[in-house]
Structure 1
Amino acid sequence: MTETETLTPAELYRHSLRLILDKDIDGWLSLCDESVVFEFPYAPEGYPSRLEGRPAVAAYMRDYPDHIDLREIPALEIHQTQDPRTIVAEWRGTGRIVTTGAAYDMSYVAVVTIDNGRITHYRDYWNPLAVPDSVRDAQSSAPAA
């Protein structure tokens, strides 16, 4: 049994956020199942609305720290659903936009399912209208699945 298999979904999600704050994208990706599915219901044109498999998620996340310097998570609430494998996380991330130095402040709602210590499904309800054009242009060039 791996270390992450002993974590509750809420604990694993908190751990994943610490890895993002540490800019440890490889460590974060290791928490994803090989066949993970990410969905972005509010993705604007040019952004992927669905990613299938760890390689697709890796390509999408590879340059995240080059665009957004996430420094703090001042708010985090995790709600357990009736399915013990699935949580709903409401959180806020703050930092700066790397290219401009402008402040970054984004609220997220994520529905996350975890099996055997790995993220298997992640539905991310982020607000694309809150992302500055400089980040939007860079991220929209990420490959879509």
Structure 2
Amino acid sequence: MTPSEIFDRMRARWLAGAPTFTADMLTDDVVVETPFAAPGHPTRTAGREQVLAYTEAGRAAFPVRFDECRDVLVHQTADPSVIVVEYELVGTHVVTGVSAAAPFIGVLTTRDGRLAHWKEYQHTLAIAQALA
């Protein structure tokens, strides 16, 4: 898969309520980084099994249904295995029914058609306000 195809698959999984990744999307040594993660959450997770376990648990515990991934901009880089994506996720809190949106930027790196590195910059204040 190309970097854009992997990102398209990630978006489809978010909107389907599924964990972000499946094993066949990831390299064995994949790294997922969220430098601005909320306190108590890791900023770096490495290894296919660890990433899958973390994202599956996170999706199960996150009380938001993603309704839309909008304003998507995909920026190609000089390296064909790397893209930078800008997007906004719109979701609805499954308990309160409150809808909110938060912007994100991600840097996606592939190797041999699989995700090797995902670095996501989140607007954690917007996320925290939506969950309040």
Interval containing the TM-score (normalised by the shorter chain): 0.7 to 0.9
Q: Give the letter aligned to residue 5 of structure 2.
A: E
Q: Give the letter aligned to residue 88 of structure 2.
A: R
Q: Give the letter aligned to residue 79 of structure 1.
A: H
Aligned counterpart for 1:123 among listed residues 110, 119, 129 = 119
CA displacement at 1:135 relative to structure 2? 4.8
What is the aligned partner in structure 1 of residue 18 from structure 2?
24
For residue 53 of structure 2, give the secondary structure of its aligned residue in structure 1. helix
Q: Give the letter aligned to residue 115 of structure 1.
A: R
Higher strand share: 2
For residue 40 of structure 2, give the secondary structure of its aligned residue in structure 1. coil
Identity %: 29
> Normalization by structure 2: what TM-score?
0.85
What is the aligned partner in structure 1 of residue 2 from structure 2?
8
State the alpha-carbon separation in 1 of the partners of residues 131 and 22 from structure 2: 21
State the alpha-carbon separation in 2 of the partners of residues 50 and 43 from structure 1: 9
State the alpha-carbon separation in 1 of the partners of residues 56 and 96 from structure 2: 20
CA displacement at 1:12 relative to structure 2? 2.1
Give the count of matched residue pairs.
Answer: 129
State the alpha-carbon separation in 1 of the partners of residues 89 and 26 from structure 2: 21
2:45 is aligned with 1:51? yes
CA displacement at 1:133 relative to structure 2? 6.5
Q: State the superposition RMSD in angstroms.
A: 2.1
For residue 78 of structure 2, give the secondary structure of its aligned residue in structure 1. coil
On the 8 A contact 2:98/2:130 being kept in 1, the answer is no
- Write out the 4+ residue segments of structure 1 that deviate beyond 6 Å after TM superposition: none
For residue 50 of structure 2, give the secondary structure of its aligned residue in structure 1. helix
Q: Give the letter aligned to residue 30 of structure 2.
A: V
Per the alignment, do residues 77 and 133 of structure 1 end up closer, same or farther by CA in structure 2, a change over 3 Å counting? closer
Per the alignment, do residues 133 and 61 of structure 1 end up closer, same or farther by CA in structure 2, a change over 3 Å counting? farther
* Deviation digits for residues 32-52 of structure 1 (CA, Å, limit 9, x no counterpart): 222110111112321111001
* Deviation digits for residues 87-121 of structure 1 (CA, Å, limit 9, x no counterpart): 00001111212232221311110001011121110
State the alpha-carbon separation in 2 of the partners of residues 81 and 134 from structure 1: 33
> Normalization by structure 1: what TM-score?
0.78
Residues 83-122 of structure 1 aligned to structure 2 (within 5 Å): 83-122=79-118
